């Protein structure tokens, strides 16, 4: 069930939150001081940039299997150096979408054993939207506190941040977890047809999962995102000469217009459901009755249940046809489900805010759906613990051809946050 939360975990987090009362007995807590963590975070800029450069300089578009294999090798090697039990999971489009390639990039999975009891998971993606050859126009460079590069914000900063955060925790001896799982996938930009099932399955075992897409302008983290769906409406008619024998045909365009007229009022803005018809195609020649016509709609929803209800409604409305000889087919795809905020996520977000306050920073928490297209949503489908998005550095210009960047001033605070949050979660008994 979507949004299910372990009652024990929710209670354990709540009792040490700002609104809690009783203290839990520590299960395990490393004795590394806050000051030591701050000093270690400050020393990581150089190693982080070195790793980030190596990732950015590999072109790894979602359909570029050679590039994805190369960057997966870098990620696998780095995680293995840190002592992780690393495996490469083959990329197969187990949930093929209308535009899915025949093969997708592999996933790199690593597991680290600690002395605590909590199961924590970090996720990010190594594929990009860019085509081979575009790196020359958007090379890696650093100008003061800003780093630029192809896919540097989305999401190579996140991959590098996970690796360096684990390296820093290893150096400090912070192992306040039972198992720390890392999953880096290579098909996020094409709606994760090969990795969504693995993400959901692994997430269901976790007490907390953090996704390392970019954070907001002020380091914002997100507890909810809109889901993304698509509708493909196809009509098959019968062609005929438009001048000599139009009556012998079945005009697919006429049928399409009729069907669209019945599907105009599907949006429910008050609950975040948006259905917009954005593409249409019909006919081959001006003087031929079109035998085929099609239209596509973009769908956004804030609740998983809204996708199911919408699909049922569209199927019901398209049963009646205007032309007896026509055939109407509807395909509904959930490109990404919504990520819905949970009480467990809200409680950990409070802890994150308190940790940021330790180093003099505010951190907004967004618990209302915004945007869409995040692997954290697949994680949230069956999660028993918290799922939080936006643990990466602040960045802008994602998917742009010349101005993708990250703010390096957010590196130290993020490294501090990750290490301290692992400490805090590890101090809570089950």
Cβ atoms of 412 and 41 closer than 8 Å: yes
Q: How far is CA 132 from CA 32, 61, 66, 129, 135, in A?
A: 44, 7, 10, 10, 7
Kindly tell me the number of DSSP H helices and DSSP E strands found in the chain.
11, 17
Give the residue numbers annotated as catalytic, written as ranges. 127, 188
Cα R_g (the chain), whole angstroms: 24
Phi and psi at residue 369, in whole multiples of 5°?
-60, 135
Q: How far is CA 152 from CA 49, 59, 156, 376, in A?
A: 11, 11, 5, 19
Residue in the structure block whose two tokens are 């395909």: 331
Which residues, 6+ apart, have CB-to-CB distance to 99 below 8 Å?
190
Q: How far apart are CA 3 and CA 221, in angstroms?
A: 18
Closest to 58 in 3D by CA, of 142, 120, 182, 149:
149
């Amino acid at each position: 069930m979507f949004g299910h939360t372990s009652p024990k975990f929710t209670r354990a987090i709540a009792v040490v939150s700002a609104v809690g009362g009783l203290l839990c007995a520590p299960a395990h807590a490393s004795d590394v001081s806050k000051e030591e963590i701050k000093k270690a975070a400050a020393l990581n800029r150089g190693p982080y940039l070195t790793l980030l450069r190596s990732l950015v300089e590999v072109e790894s578009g979602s359909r570029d299997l050679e590039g994805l294999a190369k960057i997966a090798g870098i990620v696998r090697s780095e995680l293995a150096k840190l002592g992780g039990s690393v495996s490469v999971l083959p990329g197969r489009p187990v949930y093929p979408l209308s535009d899915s390639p025949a093969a997708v990039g592999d996933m790199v999975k690593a597991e680290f054993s600690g002395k605590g009891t909590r199961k924590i998971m970090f996720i990010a993606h190594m594929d990009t939207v860019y085509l081979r050859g575009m790196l020359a126009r958007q090379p890696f460079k650093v100008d003061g506190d800003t780093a630029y590069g192809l896919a540097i914000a989305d999401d190579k900063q996140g991959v590098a941040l996970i690796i360096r955060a684990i390296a820093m925790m290893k150096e400090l001896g912070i192992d306040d977890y039972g198992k720390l799982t890392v999953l880096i996938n290579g098909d996020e930009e094409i709606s994760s047809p090969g990795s969504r099932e693995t993400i959901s399955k692994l997430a269901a075992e976790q007490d907390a999962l953090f996704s390392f897409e970019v954070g907001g302008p002020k380091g914002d983290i997100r507890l909810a995102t809109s889901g993304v769906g698509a509708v493909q409406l196809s009509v098959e008619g019968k062609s005929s000469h438009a001048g000599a024998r139009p009556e012998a045909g079945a005009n697919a365009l006429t049928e399409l217009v009729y069907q669209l007229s019945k599907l105009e009022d599907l949006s429910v803005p008050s609950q975040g459901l948006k259905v917009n018809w954005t593409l249409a195609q019909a006919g081959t020649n001006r003087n031929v009755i079109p035998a085929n016509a099609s239209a596509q709609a973009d769908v956004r929803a804030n609740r998983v249940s809204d996708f199911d209800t919408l699909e049922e409604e569209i199927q019901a409305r398209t049963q009646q046809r205007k032309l007896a000889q026509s055939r109407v087919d509807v395909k509904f795809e959930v490109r990404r489900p919504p990520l819905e905020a949970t009480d467990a996520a809200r409680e950990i977000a409070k802890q994150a805010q308190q940790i940021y306050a330790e180093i003099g920073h505010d951190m907004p928490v967004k618990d209302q759906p915004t945007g869409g297209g995040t692997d954290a949503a697949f994680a949230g489908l069956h999660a028993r613990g918290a799922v939080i998005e936006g643990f990466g550095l602040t960045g802008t210009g994602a998917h742009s051809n010349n101005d993708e960047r990250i703010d390096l001033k957010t590196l130290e605070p993020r490294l501090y946050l990750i290490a301290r949050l692992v400490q805090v979660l590890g101090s809570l008994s089950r």
